[in-house]
Structure formats: structure tokens, C-alpha cells
Structure 1
Amino acid sequence: MLAERLDVSYRDTDADIVAAQGREIADIFIDQGEEHFRVLEKAAVATALAEHDGVLSLGGGAVLDAGTRSLLAAHTAVVHLTTGVEEAAARTGPALIARPLLMGDPRERWQELAEARAPLYAEVARAVVATDGRTPDEVTDAVLAALESQR
């Protein structure tokens, strides 16, 4: 929706990885591990940032890599979308349980990951937009307002 409103193209690095690898991210995690996936993710983000100048969506763990954070920080419109565990569970339903990094207690792991990654997102985000209780249209409005206030 944001890309449409800005009249630019949209790209998702997770989708890029799936297309390049010919399999789902969960399968990459299971077969080759998180470390291998993070190498693929770092390359996908670098490629996308070099080739794409529209709205770019990243996987939640992309900020774990210092090099990726440096690349992101060099861009002027990084927005961190946040959501709480209850909202994430409601949105994804059973798919939340299927995520490799959320094995065990998915809600507890979600909270742990969010807390661990928050300072990394703070390094690169020019704005933070909470998505809890908002429709996609409202989130888009909030992102546009946040971007406008950063000018």
C-alpha cells in the first residue's frame, strides 16, 4: 500500500531469497541453518538496496548483520514497523508457530527476539510506527506522516 501511495515499486527481500533459492525460508533454516540463511539475507538486502529505489521490505532479522545495518543507515527513509506478540499471533495464527526462530513457546520467543533486536532497529530507523490495532490503511497513513516529519 505504501508503494502504491508513493507511486513507486515494491520489493521484499524474503521473496527475493525464496525466488533465488527455489524453496521457502523455513526449509532453508531447517536444511542449512540460520547462519546460511543470514548470508543469503545479507546478499539479498545489499542487492536490493543497490538495484531498487522504491519501498523495500526486509525480514525481521536483517538488522542482525552490522554490514546490513550500515547499508540501511545510509538510506534516509528506514521505517521500523512494530507489533506486539498478541497482535502478531492474531495476524499470523498457526503460521506463527511454523516460524523456525519461534520454536518452543512462540509468544515467548517473539518477545525475546523483539527485545534483542530493538536496539539494532534503533540504529537504522528514522521512524518507528506501531501497527497494533491499526488497519493497513492506517499504518500506511502513519508511515507517510512519519516520513513527512523526517523531511
Structure 2
Amino acid sequence: MTGPVLILVGPPGSGKSTVGRLAAERLGVGFRDFDDDLERAHGLPAGELVVQLGREKFQESERELLGDLLPKHDGVLALGGGTPTAPGVPELLKGHHVVFLDVNLDQLLRREGLVPLHPWLLPNPRAHLRELLNTRRPVYTAVAATTIQTSERTPDDVLADVLASMPAAG
């Protein structure tokens, strides 16, 4: 199957972009952040796009863009936090090596810049993040071959586990 050698999923702030860049560098491939692709395609950050398009249209856009991107990108891809929950996306991910970067609520709340970057978490970031983790965790687990805990760990430690989870090169 063509497409990314590695796809990372998880909530905002779980380390997908940080670990994804490290993994791409180590594997000698390109890195893409799907939120950046969405922003390029629509001219607005993902958070603003959801508000402008509404959740249903936004998720349709995610699915279409991902369907176009998967066969063309052979590096590491970090998906947006909600992308795996879009209808049709779990089917698109089948056959790809997907890793769920899991993180606990307290750790997420300590990660700098998370709330300003995701204004929809206001006015109660703890309640919003708890709900987000509870509803998305089963989806992340279902689409991923492996779950790796990132709480209280360095990006290099997480990277080692991500690389260890990769299928052996045929």
C-alpha cells in the first residue's frame, strides 16, 4: 500500500507534531501536519474552519482532503485531533500504520499554549478536554495499531516507542 509510513493520532497537545517531526527526521522522510494542509486548502486555521463551515461540512472537508493526501504522502503524517472521528476517515486509515499518542488530562492542561491555540476549549478547558478525551479515545484506539502513553515522558522516549512499533521493512 502506498501512503504514509506512519500516521499519528491523538488529542491536541499529545505530541503528534513534535514526535512526528522527530520520527520523520529519523526515518529520512517528509513530515506533514494535517491541520496545516487544511489551513492551506481553506485559508483558515482548523479551529476557525469548524466555526465557519459547521462540524459536518468541516468533517466532509477533512475526509476529502485526507483521501487526496494519503496516496501522495509517503512520510509521517500527524492528523488533527478530531480528524479520526470524521465519518469515513477510519476506513481511509485501514492498512496504514497508525499510532495513538495518548496523554492524561492533567498533563494536557499543563502543556503550554494549548488553550490559546484551541480557543474552543474556553471557558472551561478541563471540562472540555475531559469530554474530548472520553469521546475520542475509543476512536483513536480503534484506528491505531499501537497506543503509546506520552504523559510525563520526553519526546525522545515517545519516539523510541513509536519507532519500535513500526512494522519491519519488507
- With normalisation by structure 2, the TM-score equals 0.78
Equivalent residue for 1:43, pick from 57, 60, 64? 64
Task: Report the equivalent of 2:50.
Answer: 29
Structure 2 runs not aligned, ≥5 long: 1-21
Amino acid at match of 1:65: A
Q: Percent identity?
A: 36
Whether the aligned pair in 2 keeps the contact of 1:127 and 1:147 (CA below 8 Å) is no
Structure 1 runs not aligned, ≥5 long: none
SS of the equivalent of 1:92 reads: coil
Give the 4+ runs in structure 1 shifted more than 4 A: none
Task: Report the equivalent of 1:104.
Answer: 123
1:17 aligns with 2:38: yes
Task: Report the equivalent of 2:107.
Answer: 87
SS of the equivalent of 2:100 reads: strand
CA–CA separation in structure 2 for the residues paired with 1:131 and 1:120 = 18
SS of the equivalent of 2:37 reads: helix
Question: Across the two proteins, how many residue pairs are aligned to each other?
Answer: 148
Q: Which is helix-richer, 1 or 2?
A: 1
Compare relative contact order (CA 8 Å, sep 6+) and give the higher one, 1 or 2.
2
- With normalisation by structure 1, the TM-score equals 0.87
CA–CA separation in structure 2 for the residues paired with 1:44 and 1:112 = 26
Whether the aligned pair in 2 keeps the contact of 1:29 and 1:100 (CA below 8 Å) is no
Task: Report the equivalent of 2:86.
Answer: 65
